[in-house]
Structure 1
């Protein structure tokens, strides 16, 4: 038969293993839950950005929308050509 010291050691190791297992499982669950929350937040951010882009495209004034002729009407665009813009405005008037 095993002595009392060996039995105490066995049961102590068993309890320590159970405590560690519970701690490890809870940390894994919290990490997975945090990752799921971050993933959902990123998905919502993408949806919001898409909605903003669609709203901006929908509500953009007609004269600032790009024409089929390729004329750039955005003054802050580096490719903006003032002369071509003025000629187009003169023709449309």
Structure 2
């Protein structure tokens, strides 16, 4: 099987053209994936910063639910004890009237 020089050249340049075309399309695909990944990472970073800022703001502006003597004064807290709270108010009222 001996090919003529022209046939070899046609096959050689066809392979070269196919390789260049494949390289070009593969590079475009990889670049598009990298851009999507970068945009997703940037979005995740911003989302994490927002969540952190919300947590800090909530911590800073949280109402004080525990009094100076350790009594929970927030009625929305599940550990709130109405009887202990009323007894504390009565004791404070007694101290104030003396």
Give TM-score scaled by structure 1 length.
0.70
Query: How many corresponding residue pairs?
Result: 91
Which protein shows a greater Rg? Answer: 2
CA distance in 2, matches of 1:29, 1:68: 60
Structure 1: gaps of 5 or more residues: none
User: What TM-score do the two structures reach when normalised by structure 2?
Assistant: 0.68
The one of 46, 56, 71 equivalent to 1:54 is 56
Q: For structure 1, which segment, 73-82 or 21-30, has the greater mean C-alpha deviation from structure 2 after superposition? A: 73-82
- Where in structure 2 are there 5+ consecutive unaligned residues? 94-98
- 1:32 aligned residue (9, 31, 34): 34
CA drift at 1:83? 3.6
RMSD of aligned C-alpha atoms? Answer: 2.6
